[in-house]
Structure 1
Amino acid sequence: MKNFALIGAAGYIAPRHMQAIQTTGNSLVAALDPNDSVGVIDSYFPEADFFTEFERFDRHIDKLRRDKDNKQVDYMSICSPNYLHDSHMRFALRSGAHAICEKPLVLNPWNIDGLIDIERDTGRKVNTILQLRLHPSIIALRDRVQAATGDKKYEVDLTYITSRGHWYLQSWKGDLKKSGGIATNIGVHFFDMLHFIFGDLQDNIVHHSSETKAAGYLEYANARVRWFLSVDIEDVPQAHREQGNRTFRSITVNGEEIEFSGGFTDLHVRSYEAILKGEGFGLEENRTAITTVSAIRNATPLGRQGDYHPFLDYHLAGQ
């Protein structure tokens, strides 16, 4: 049994990590979050020590590291706001623990280089949650692409709308410097998925970018991709809104819808199982996706010209 610590225990994604730690037969011994609304811990590890101040958490982790009864933390799971991931991974490695970090790994590709240096210095490893790489439908599509013959590229449309209330832009997620913007916050795992399936990134064009939505064009070794991401309820197609749906997700490949709405419930557990076997996704596996979202964040949008996503014709009409 391995000992885990968790940073960001009050966040949306933290319960999935708690469940994965429990399901894989391990123990959460300490957790940190400045927000003390963490009663969910009782459902998994009620005996875990909890801290709202990093300094006290740091002292506790250090005491465990020096413990002669082998209570030191083996893995530190990081579910904190995006802009803190880099710092918290560094803390984990320097504390003698391996890191397990949620997406996005970091906000800029050069941060990966610094983490590689710290991995080398400490002998500890950064593992990342790239759960879509473990999804059966995604793996099947990748196998199909790799088995195909010829040099014709697939035509792909990616549409992902996950509407959020007014709170979103008032939270750290609405701060570009903290979240990295829409493409980073809700899109980075999709961009990793596209790289995983279709190969090396060759071109990256942004057509639109705002606080609530972004769209562009990506070309990979084996695909041409038009993408649209949004947190605006008005972008959900009317027929879906009328059915009470606040989200809309679609990936088409050569006009064929790829169904992967199911199969998500155990992907964090499967990620943890792979990590504990030494088969997790490391720093370099993240480089293409992080480079992609960093370039999107710093690009000048072209507007509706070239090969843009068809949703822009409706959702940006008159702009």
Structure 2
Amino acid sequence: MKKFALIGAAGYIAPRHMIAIKATGNQLVAAYDPNDSVGIIDSHFPEADFFTEFERFDRHVDKLHRADNGAEIDYIAICSPNYLHDSHMRFALRSGADAICEKPLVLNPWNIDGLLDIERSTGNKVNTILQLRLHPAIVALKEKIANAAANGKHEVDLTYITSRGHWYLQSWKGDLKKSGGIATNIGVHFFDMLHFIFGALQQSNVHYTSDTKAGGYLEYEKARVRWFLSVDVADVPREQLEKGQRTYRSITVDGEEIEFSGGFTDLHTRSYEEILAGRGFGLEENRTAIETVASIRNAQPLGLTGNYHPFLARQA
């Protein structure tokens, strides 16, 4: 049984980590969040110590690390706001624990280099949640693309709309410096998936970007990709809206829809199983996706020109 600590226990994604820790037969012994709305802990690990001040959490983790009685923490799961991931991974490694970090790993590619240095000096490891790499439909598509006869590049459209209320722009997620912007916050795992399936990134153009949506063009070794991401409910197609749906997810490859709406609920547990077996995704495996979202964030939008996503026509 491994011992876990959790940073960001009040966050949206934290319960999936608690479920994964429990499902893999391990124990959450300490958790931290400046927000004390963490009653969900009682459903999984009611005996876990909880802290609302990082300094007290730090002291507790350090005491366990120095106890020399088997109480030290093996893994620290990180579910904090995006801009804090780098600092919290550094804390985990220097506390003698491996890190399990939510996406995006960091906001800028150069942060990966610093973490690699700390991995080497501490002997501890960063693992990341790149759950789409474990989705059966995505694994099957990767195999299909790998085995296909080389005959030009595949034509791909990626559309992801996940509606958010007015709270979104008032939270840290609406702050570019804290979230990295819309492409980073809701798109980084899709960009990792595209790299995972279609190979090295060769070109990136941004056609449109705002606080709530963005669209552009990416070219990989094996694919040309038009992409559109949004948290604006007005972008959900009318047919889905009339059914009461506020989320729309679509990936087409050469005009064929790739169905992967199901199978998401246990991907964090699958991720934990792989990490505990020594097969987690490390720092370097995140580099292409982080470079992609950083370049999108810093790009000057071209406007509706060239090979742009059809949903962008609505923004004209």
User: Normalising by structure 1, what TM-score?
Assistant: 0.99
Give aligned pairs, total: 316
1:87-236 matches, cutoff 5 A: 87-236=87-236
**Displacement after TM superposition at 1:150 (Å):** 1.9
Q: Distance in 2 between matches of 1:127 and 1:232?
A: 32
**Displacement after TM superposition at 1:261 (Å):** 0.3
Between stretches 255-264 and 238-247, larger displacement belongs to 238-247
**Displacement after TM superposition at 1:97 (Å):** 0.2
**Displacement after TM superposition at 1:68 (Å):** 2.5
Aligned match of 1:41:
41
**Displacement after TM superposition at 1:302 (Å):** 0.3
List per-residue Cα deviations over 1:233-282 (Å, max 9, x = no partner): 00001111111110100000000000000011111111001101110000
**Displacement after TM superposition at 1:9 (Å):** 0.1
Aligned match of 1:62:
62
Q: Distance in 2 between matches of 1:2 and 1:166?
A: 40
Q: Distance in 2 between matches of 1:179 and 1:150?
A: 38
Aligned match of 2:309:
309
Q: Distance in 1 between matches of 2:93 and 2:185?
A: 24
**Displacement after TM superposition at 1:66 (Å):** 1.0
Q: Distance in 1 between matches of 2:235 and 2:68?
A: 57
Instruction: Give the secondary structure class of the aligned counterpart of 2:127.
Output: strand
Q: Distance in 2 between matches of 1:263 and 1:7?
A: 26
**Displacement after TM superposition at 1:107 (Å):** 0.2
Q: Distance in 2 between matches of 1:301 and 1:281?
A: 32
Q: Distance in 2 between matches of 1:105 and 1:116?
A: 13
Aligned match of 2:259:
259
**Displacement after TM superposition at 1:128 (Å):** 0.2
4+ runs deviating over 6 angstroms: none
Aligned match of 2:243:
243
Between stretches 68-77 and 166-175, larger displacement belongs to 68-77
**Displacement after TM superposition at 1:151 (Å):** 3.6
**Displacement after TM superposition at 1:69 (Å):** 1.9
Give structure 1 stretches of 5+ with no counterpart: none
Instruction: Give the secondary structure class of the aligned counterpart of 2:206.
Output: strand
Q: Distance in 2 between matches of 1:2 and 1:151?
A: 48
Q: Distance in 2 between matches of 1:279 and 1:159?
A: 30
CA RMSD of aligned residues (A): 0.5
User: Normalising by structure 2, what TM-score?
Assistant: 0.99
**Displacement after TM superposition at 1:298 (Å):** 0.1
Instruction: Give the secondary structure class of the aligned counterpart of 2:64.
Output: helix
The percent identity for this pair of structures is 78
**Displacement after TM superposition at 1:67 (Å):** 1.3
